[in-house]
Structure 1
Amino acid sequence: MSRIDETRPFHPVRIAVLAVSDTRSLAEDRSGDVLVERLTGAGHVLAARHILRDDRAAIADQLRVWVADPGIDVILTTGGTGLTGRDVTVEAHRDVYEKEIEAFATVFTIVSMAKIGTSAVQSRATGGVAGGTYLFALPGSSGACKDAWDEILKFQLDSRHLPCNFVEIMPRLDEHLRRK
């Protein structure tokens, strides 16, 4: 069973938050606010925050800039994970991923089912890795962002979480890029 081992050290990670919306400004980004509140409340560092319109190339470009930034360990996007024609965040993420974390979508769906029932099938939340950086695309609703953080990311981004967590394998995410 998973648990937090208080005898282990906590290692804060540097997290960038990107809201994707055609209609909101940064001042109106409640989902981004939820993520910032939760990640800083957990002891992590807000490394960057931005908002972009639903434009696949622009989103992918911003993700690549942040992946290349050694001051960013994790990227959280919110918005653009639905089924409508303007929802392109998932495609932009997949344009950048080296590896997809398929189980993230599965676990997010399980968490969502408990909250919103079969409406959970309308989300395409996803996670992946690129250039040694974790990327997670979350729905645009503040409730979905709370669920993703409170039920999944809070634990996986805590170095004290057992039996395993994302933080402990961070140094090895880009080992395939290094020569021996």
Structure 2
Amino acid sequence: MSPEATRDFLPVRIAILTVSDTRGAAQDRSGDVLVARLTQAGHTLADRRILRDERDEIATQLRAWCADPGIDVVISTGGTGLTGRDVTVEAHRDVYEKEIDAFSTVFTIVSMNKIGTSAVQSRATGGVANGTYLFALPGSPGACGDAWDEILVKQLDYRHRPCNFVEIFPRLDEHQRRK
């Protein structure tokens, strides 16, 4: 029996945020990719929104979801590039208590295998705030699929060994409980 078979799957409640000045629900292919992947994996779509590239509005939404006990993970798509309107990474960092530095590194490695040196233009990031995981992915459907298929599907699966994000959920906010 494999080690994975000794643990039950634990569904995670995930909110999806698309950041775009131009896309509405009908054009949100990246959000659609993430919703399809997370539900196919057995997780729950807790909420889904589209916001313009406005740093304060993005940070406000991230904080609201981090305060919601019905949301475990937030994944945003869009606004991670290098242009002046790309402010999603800054909004995420406004909210993070801790940044998951290796998420960016691993995402870059995955991207290098798909798109070569163009991966250098991505500023994908991950972090933790108020016991909630937050991930900012590029706005391309391919990048969202790659991030899910190569990183998140495994790290958001309690059965994944040797370790995963789900098993440390109870300890993410332990610093807030200390007196």
Q: What's the CA shift for 1:28? A: 1.1
Hey, what's the Cα distance between the residues in 2 that align with 1:82 and 1:170?
Answer: 29
Spell out the pairing of 1:15-54 with structure 2 (5 A cutoff): 15-54=14-53
Q: What's the CA shift for 1:7? A: 2.4
AA aligned opposite 1:130: A
Q: What's the CA shift for 1:27? A: 1.9
**2:160 corresponds to:** 161
Q: For residues 52-95 of structure 1, what are the alpha-carbon distances to aligned partners after superposition, in whole Å with 9 as ceiling and x for unaligned? A: 00000000000000000000000000000000000000000000
**1:77 corresponds to:** 76
Kindly report the root-mean-square deviation, in angstroms, between the aligned alpha carbons of the 2 structures: 1.0
- 1:47 is paired with a residue of what secondary structure? strand
Spell out the pairing of 1:1-180 with structure 2 (5 A cutoff): 5-180=4-179
AA aligned opposite 2:173: D
Q: What's the CA shift for 1:179? A: 3.1
TM-score when normalising by structure 1: 0.97
Structure 2, gaps ≥5 residues long: none
- 2:35 is paired with a residue of what secondary structure? helix
Hey, what's the Cα distance between the residues in 1 that align with 2:178 and 2:162?
Answer: 30
Hey, what's the Cα distance between the residues in 1 that align with 2:26 and 2:173?
Answer: 35
TM-score when normalising by structure 2: 0.98
Q: What's the CA shift for 1:6? A: 2.2
Hey, what's the Cα distance between the residues in 2 that align with 1:131 and 1:174?
Answer: 6
- 1:134 is paired with a residue of what secondary structure? strand
- 1:161 is paired with a residue of what secondary structure? coil
Structure 1, gaps ≥5 residues long: none
- 2:93 is paired with a residue of what secondary structure? helix
Runs of at least 4 residues of structure 1 off by over 4 A? none
